[in-house]
Chains A and B, each alone.
Chain A
Amino acid sequence: MPISIDQSLGILPRALQLGSQRAEILASNLANADTPGYKARDIDFSAALSRTQGGTLALETASPGQMQPPAAQSGASLMYRIPIQPTVDGNTVDAQGQYAEFGRNGLQYEASLTFLTDRIKTLITAITGN
C-alpha cells in the first residue's frame, strides 16, 4: 500500500497556515483599534479552507514549475467586517469581539497542532514498525 505523507496529514497543514494568516489579520485589527477611519478586515475561515481542499482557486499554469500567487495558494480572500455599532471616527474595529475571535483562532490552531502531532505519531509508528 503506497503511503503519501502529504495525503495522510490531510487538511491540517492548510488549516495551520490559514490559522496563522488569520491571527496576523486579527492582530492587525487590534493594533488599529484606535486608528480613525480604519476598516476591520477578516477572512471566512471555513470557506477559505474548503476552497483549498477543492483546489478550485489554483491558477492554470503553462508548465508544472510555475508558482501560484499567494492569495490562490492560501485560498483566503480578505473581506471587511460589518461593524456592530457606528463610531464617530469611522473605525469599524470591535476590540472585544476581535479579541474573542483571536482567542478562538488560537484554540483552533492549537487543536490542529494536536491532531497533526497525532497523525505524525501514527506515521512514525508505521515507519518504525513497533
Chain B
Amino acid sequence: MSLLNVFNIAGTGMTAESVRLNLTASNLANADSAASSTGQTYRARYPVFEAMTNPLVPQASAEGVRVLGVVQSQSPLRSEYAPNNPLADKNGYIHLPNVNVVEQMADMISASQSYQSNVDVINTSKQLLLKTLTLGQ
C-alpha cells in the first residue's frame, strides 16, 4: 500500500529536520561560548542529509531521507582581546565560536518549514487513507 509508505517517508523527513533543528539550537546556544584555546572552542555543527534509495532498485524513487552524520564548520574562529576575562590566554585573547547567528536563524526557519510540510503530508495521507477505508459506504 503506497499511501501507508508515505507515513514512513515523511517520518524520515521529520526525523532529519528535527536533527537539523537540534543542531541549530545547539549552535545558537553556544554562539558566545568562549574558550582559552582554539582547540576547545565550539564550532558550528551541521547535519549531512542523504536520500535513502533501495540498493536493489536504484532507479526507483527515494524511500525517504537520512542523516549521514554531523560535520563541524571549518570557517575561522573569532578571537577577541579581553585580558580581564578569566578564560583569556596568556596573550589576553579569548576564542569565540564560528557561529553566524543570522545564518543559524535562516537555517532554523528553513528546517521548521520543511518539518511542517512533512507533517502536512502525513495529515493529508491520513485523511486519504481514512476515506479509502470507508470506500463504498
* B5 contacts across to A, CB distance below 8 A: 24
Q: Which residues of A (15-38) have their CB < 8 Å from a CB of B? A: 16-17, 20-21, 23-28, 30-36, 38
Q: Select from chain B the residue with minimum beta-carbon distance to A18.
A: B2
| B1-24 Cβ-contact flags toward A at 8 Å (1 or 0) | 111011001101100110010000
Q: Are A38 and B51 in contact (CB under 8 A)?
A: yes
Q: Are A20 and B1 in contact (CB under 8 A)?
A: yes
* A41 contacts across to B, CB distance below 8 A: 61-62
Tell me the minimal C-beta distance from B22 to chain A in angstroms: 14
Q: Are B131 and A110 in contact (CB under 8 A)?
A: yes
Contacts between chains A and B (CB distance < 8 A), count: 105
Q: Are A31 and B2 in contact (CB under 8 A)?
A: no
Tell me the minimal C-beta distance from B135 to chain A in angstroms: 6
Interface of B is mostly: helix
* B136 contacts across to A, CB distance below 8 A: 116-117, 120-121, 124
* B3 contacts across to A, CB distance below 8 A: 20, 23-24
Q: Select from chain A the residue with minimum beta-carbon distance to B48.
A: A36
Q: B residues within 8 Å of A by Cβ?
A: 1-3, 5-6, 9-10, 12-13, 16-17, 20, 48-51, 59-65, 110-111, 113-114, 117-118, 120-121, 124-125, 127-128, 131-132, 135-137
Q: Are B49 and A23 in contact (CB under 8 A)?
A: no
| A92-104 Cβ-contact flags toward B at 8 Å (1 or 0) | 0001000100110
Q: Select which of A78, A95, A110 is within 8 A of B60 by beta carbon.
A: A78
Q: Select which of A20, A21, A32, A116 is within 8 A of B51 by beta carbon.
A: A32
Q: Are B114 and A113 in contact (CB under 8 A)?
A: no
Q: Are A24 and B2 in contact (CB under 8 A)?
A: yes
Given contacts A27-B125, A36-B49, 20 further A-B contacts (CB under 8 A): A20-B1, A21-B2, A23-B2, A27-B10, A28-B9, A30-B13, A31-B9, A31-B16, A31-B65, A33-B114, A33-B117, A38-B51, A41-B62, A78-B60, A95-B114, A103-B124, A106-B127, A110-B128, A117-B135, A117-B137
Tell me whether A45 is interfacial, beta carbon within 8 Å. Answer: no
* A35 contacts across to B, CB distance below 8 A: 49-51, 65
* A16 contacts across to B, CB distance below 8 A: 132
Q: Are B117 and A95 in contact (CB under 8 A)?
A: yes
* B132 contacts across to A, CB distance below 8 A: 16, 113
* B1 contacts across to A, CB distance below 8 A: 20
